[in-house]
Amino acid sequence: MSLRQQHGAEIDAILARYPQKKSAILALLYVAQDTYGRLTDESIREVATIIDVPPTHVFEVVGFYTLLYDENVGKVVLQVCDDVPCAFCGAEQLVSTLESKLGIQCDQTTPDGMFTLQRVKCLADCNRAPLLQANLDYYRNLDTTEKVDDLLTQLRERIAKNDRISISGRLAEI
Amino acid sequence: MPPITEHVVLRDNDVPNIADLDVYIKHEGYEALRIAVTEKTPADVINVVKEAGLRGRGGAGFPTGVKWGFLPKDVYPRYLCCNADESEPGTFNNHQIIDRNPHQLIEGVALAAYAIECQTAFIYIRGEFAAGALRLEKAIADATARGYLGKNAFGTGVNINIVVSRGAGAYICGEETALMESLEGKMGQPRLKPPFPAIAGLYSKPTIVNNVETLANVPRIVLKGAEWYRKNGTEKSPGTKVFSVSGHVRKPGNYEVQFGTTMRELIYDYAGGMREDRKVKIIVPGGASAAWLTEASIDVAMDYESLAAAGTMLGSGGVIILDETVSAVELAYKMDEFFKHESCGKCTPCREGTHYLVKTLHRLNHGGAQKNDIAKLHDIYNQMAGNCFCLLGESAVVPIRTALKLFPHEFEEALAKSSARHAIPLTLAH
Ligand SMILES: Cc1cc2nc3c(=O)[nH]c(=O)nc-3n(C[C@H](O)[C@H](O)[C@H](O)COP(=O)(O)O)c2cc1C
Ligand code: SF4
Ligand code: FES
């Protein structure tokens, strides 16, 4: 089924927000990557058709923005802030705890396809370091292994129930 | 400076649950907008903002009312872009304004839109603020349902349409011309200026770009007047400022204080002092783009003029306080790693310069340094300075230059230690 067939109403609502269709590109790519788990070549071409631009333009945009994934990622993308000040407030510890709990390094996905782990730059929440985003929901003050365990358990339960799983954050917790 | 008696922006400190529309309304919410659209002309709104002396909080401190006055006469449509791309390391005031007092931001956007006669205002919000975007959309929907926004605001026929648009991960999109490129559906790379956005901005139409905190100040100014606003702050930096204080203080957080409050007051009276009573080593007063200070400057007043006189800037208001456990060489590496990561790749001095800065700094920190590496660092930033297409590249010069100036001996020590060790490979994130 095409993106349009699956999300026609949402796509029309997105297009209606902008004076020019092209402006809808990021919002549509978010819908596409949530639908297919990542931005497949096919889905990128679909978005190009919807906003009436050459596919090369959309490929270029996908390559530019870090929250657009054209490679496989897990159901949940974990993004640990390792910027200043977090780097000096426990971020490195958090990264290594996650690497050992998940058995992967940064920029890898667990073999079961559940989690992708990444380092990212300042998430504008520096007073609650160390922290991460999981599918763009914030989890703050993760300064003990227990807190990390709890977080992973909670996320695994959500994945099992398919509860608000959106790598684009379209279903983020308000 | 004495503490403020009433918050102007982070009013949730005085009014619990102000994020709730009913609570906001009960505490004068949307009154400024109602009065403006029913009783005042757009020029009246511009004038009061000018008289208040409100200065843009996005970094440059440009007077907001003056900027609004730059739009060419009789050219429509005009656009307003609220810049909610907040990504400067150490800065989190916009983020928490959106979370804690969203309606005041929406009202500020609406007032600015009315003042500049714009019918569609965008809030360009960084992609990571997914929850923030939903929160703002809800606030807009709620206010529209009450008839405050939309096609017929307060029954006056004034049309105020506010659209929330998410970015997708790129610090450079906070630069106003890159922001507009991104909103037009392109890669977020800066445009050549002139033309300035006020003349030809979004979709080549006259456009005003303002920061979240800037606009969140507007409702109170319009309602209470310029004189009231000027009771806080200094003559040239009037009002209050929300400083994001982070790092090795006991109580990191956002503190809204008068402009002119000293750094010492901010650290010790507001942020609880230094953790474990350690000594302050490095102060980054305005985000990663601001030159560092040391404890010797701790009595500097936090206003635009005083920080400029101290050789740095107020910038984004992100105040990072680091204690003596931090190495200056490591800090310079981390900061330039940020700029390298965020370089948009459009111009060579920034793209290549940040790459070589990071490579060299990595060697100094982690082994395999070469004996001319310090000279090389000077060489690289000197080649970048003044040659970058936009301020991101120029900002990347700041951490390394200031680190070398303030802590030359640490670089010498790092060089000696690192030369004796084997290189470990640098894996650079894309
Ligand atoms: C690399 C770079 C990043 C920027 N990021 C932001 C940002 O995240 N938020 C912001 O308001 N201004 C940012 N600015 C400044 C904007 O270009 C612009 O001056 C500002 O949004 C104007 O709003 P103001 O007049 O209310 O300060 C950035 C500038 C540069 C050069
Ligand atoms: S200075 Fe850097 S961010 Fe700015 S245009 Fe050049 S490459 Fe892009
Ligand atoms: S540096 Fe980590 S949230 Fe700002």
CA distances in angstroms from A124 to A81, A85, B86, B289, B397, listed in the order given: 9, 10, 7, 15, 22
Give the mean pLDDT of A97-117: 98
Q: Measure B88 CA to ligand 1 centroid, in angstroms.
A: 9
Strand ranges inside A14-173, DSSP E: 76-81, 108-109, 115-120, 132-134, 137-139
The sign of the torsion formed by the CA atoms of B299, B304, B308, B309 equals negative
Collapsing DSSP to helix, strand or coil, B391 comes out as helix
Residues of B in contact with A127 (CB under 8 A): 92, 244-246, 252-254
Task: Give the pocket of ligand 2 (CB within 6 Å).
Answer: B 172, 190, 343-347, 350-351, 388-390, 392-393
Indicate which residue's Cα is closest to atom 4 of ligand 2: B390
pTM metric for this prediction: 0.98
Cβ distance of A67 and B128 shorter than 8 Å: yes
pLDDT band at B428 (very low <50, low <70, confident <90, very high): low
- Rounded CA-CA distance B187/B175 in Å is 13
Give the mean pLDDT of B390-415: 98
Find all residues with CB under 8 Å of B60, minimum gap 6, and list them: none
- In tens, the pLDDT along A34-86 reads 999 999 999 999 999 999 999 999 999 999 999 999 999 999 999 999 999 99
Find all residues with CB under 8 Å of A60, minimum gap 6, and list them: B187
The dihedral over CA atoms of B348, B354, B359, B362, expressed in degrees to the nearest 10, equals 180
- Rounded CA-CA distance B241/B93 in Å is 10
- Strand (E) or helix (H) holding B71: none
CA distances in angstroms from A65 to A55, A123, B203, B417, listed in the order given: 16, 15, 21, 38
Supply the pLDDT for residue B422: 79
Q: Measure A127 CA to ligand 3 centroid, in angstroms.
A: 8
Q: Considering chain A, what is the average pLDDT of its residues?
A: 97
Give every strand in the sheet of B158-166, ordered side by side.
B150-153, B158-166, B120-125, B79-84, B207-211
Residue B26 φ then ψ, to 5°: -60, -25
Count of other CB atoms within 10 angstroms of residue A129: 24
| Percentage of the residues of chain B whose pLDDT score is greater than 90 | 97
User: Are A174 and B137 contacting, i.e. CB atoms less than 8 angstroms apart?
Assistant: no
Supply the pLDDT for residue B425: 77
Q: Tokens 């679909």 map to which residue?
A: A46
CA distance B322 to chain A (A): 8
**Nearest by Cα to B385 from B415, B350, B411:** B350
Cβ distance of A126 and B134 shorter than 8 Å: no
Query: Does A120 contact ligand 3 (Cβ within 6 A)?
Result: no
Supply the pLDDT for residue B430: 47
Give the mean pLDDT of B291-296: 98
Give the mean pLDDT of B114-119: 98
Indicate which residue's Cα is closest to atom 29 of ligand 1: B175
Render the burial of A150-169: b for 16+ CB within 10 Å, e for the rest.
ebbeebeebbeeeeeebbbb
* Pick among B119, B246, B340 to test the A interface (most A CBs inside 10 A): B246
Give the mean pLDDT of B338-343: 98
